[in-house]
Amino acid sequence: MFSMLMKSISMPGRKEALPGRDEPVLEPMPHAVLGNPIVPPYPEGLERIVLGLGCFWGAERVFWQTRGVWTTSVGYAGGYTPNATYREVCSGGTGHTEVVEVVFNPDVISLDAILQLFWESHDPTQGMRQGNDVGTQYRSAIFTDNDDQLNAALASRDAYEAALVKAGRGAITTEIALAEDYYLAEDYHQQYLHKNPGGYCSIGGCGVSFPAIED
């Protein structure tokens, strides 16, 4: 990753953001592990959520290895630049963060379980960084498809923040909002750790478990 070279921690405004382009940077191929499409339309009954938890290489693997996840892809969201490139995102000039689009079967895995996996797989208290990866593109984020998901995400944040505070950790800095545009990253980023098993992976939680949900 370019994180040690590009360390912009200030978000650009819409007027300052890079202009981007009309054409996507990727001609979508089937998922290299799961074999399913990585772009819609998806089968009826599946749900979708977009999650940012640092470098998307390791983050995507967390979810494609999870039972009930139908497909995943990596891309950019939360900013302004249409169809941004990886280098543009790393420059800090797009406003995007690196994200994983997770498409899952709610009859097999619940949204709450997806959110628990999200919280426990990274440190959501670090602002514009994740471990040694520094920059706006590494900020923690949840972008939801609808208000029900948004409310569930906010409730899960409050529950996990209480656990973090109890453990002596800081407040959660995760951006949580309804999803707007999601732009696929370049092909070489898709399922990166399947294609490069020894590749860089920064994924790791902060050692605090999500609190048990009482019936």
Which residues have a catalytic role annotated? 55
Q: Which of 71, 167, 53 is nearest to 118 (CA)?
A: 53
Q: What DSSP designation does 49 have?
A: E
Nearest to 101 by CA among 37, 43, 147, 24: 37
Distance (Å, whole) CA 114 – CA 144:
12
Residue partners of 176: CB distance under 8 A and separation at least 6: 141, 142, 144, 150, 153, 154, 157
- 8 Å CB contact between 129 and 135: yes
Separation of alpha carbons 85 and 152, rounded Å: 31
